[in-house]
Amino acid sequence: QVQLVESGGGLVEAGGSLRLSCAASGRTFSSSHMGWFRQAPGKEREFVAAISWGGGSISYADSVKGRFTISRDNAKNTVYLQMNSLKPEDTAVYYCNAHQSFNMVVKGLGSWGQGTQVTVSS
């Protein structure tokens, strides 16, 4: 089982940028596909982005395409989410997810981190 710890969240003005990090521990990381989800108050957790273990396959939610970039550094056991042109509707707790099946990550059926808060002011 893999342990995931998100960091990098904070308060930012609309139009600003943040980079989230998800540090993983465990031998499964190098062969695990990774993804980001977010959950706003009173709403269901939704898919944001996913990346295969080698970085060759990437998927984004339509709402973040062109603004967010997912990447990973397996040597550091870390996956990143670069968020640019942030909007108030991006406000949510962001979670990372990991599984050895890419489609399982997209569905949010892998292991979860504890989440990091992102707040975008208008």
Q: What is the pLDDT of residue 29?
A: 56
Tens digit of each residue's pLDDT (9 = 90 or more) over 24-53: 987 665 568 999 999 999 999 999 999 999
75 pLDDT band, cuts 50/70/90, is confident
> What single DSSP character describes residue 60?
E
Tokens 């989410």 appear where?
Answer: 81
Mean pLDDT of the 86-91 span: 98
Residue from 30, 48, 31 nearest 93 by CA: 48
Is the pLDDT reported for residue 55 higher than 80?
yes
Q: In 3D, which of 43, 34, 33 has the Cα closest to residue 63?
A: 43
